[in-house]
Amino acid sequence: MASKIWSEAEESQLLSALTSTIQSPMWNAEQGTFNPSYVNYLQGLMAVEFPDAPIEDFHIKTKITSWKQTCKIIMNLIHAPGFDWDPTRHEVVAKDDVWVAYLQDHPQAKMAKGVQFPQFNDWCLCFVRPNP
């Protein structure tokens, strides 16, 4: 399985298709998850939009897993003391000393420091389950 370098247009289309899937029968509202066939559905949509770009199911699964992990890291950050979400810059913000202390125990969160995430709201629609 070869890795895939996604174009901005491909990522945007996949995220758009994923968020629209929440409104379809592919979404299991009771469990807050996608039905198992959703990847095949998304792959079909991507093939129509990008017929010359071979996007396999494992590419889609890998991209969605990456988005979920990043979304979880951001959610953990913005719920930690001293952190906040800047909705204008689409970025996690905190003072430098807060970052330093947090990164000592959570080194994987370094990827979010100083990075803008304009897709974050859409990721939340797809991956963050509302509290009952």
pLDDT at position 38 is 84
pLDDT at position 23 is 73
Distance between CA atoms of residues 31 and 47, nearest Å: 28
pLDDT at position 25 is 67
Between the CA of residue 6 and those of 60, 95, 99, what are the distances in Å?
10, 32, 29
Distance between CA atoms of residues 60 and 39, nearest Å: 7
Dihedral over Cα of 66, 67, 72, 74: its sign: positive
Reading the chain (132 residues) residue by residue, the pLDDT tens digits are 578 999 999 999 999 999 888 777 666 656 666 777 888 889 999 999 999 988 999 999 999 999 999 999 999 999 999 999 999 999 999 999 999 999 999 999 999 999 999 999 999 988 887 665
pLDDT at position 32 is 61
Domain boundaries of the chain, sorted by first residue: 8-128
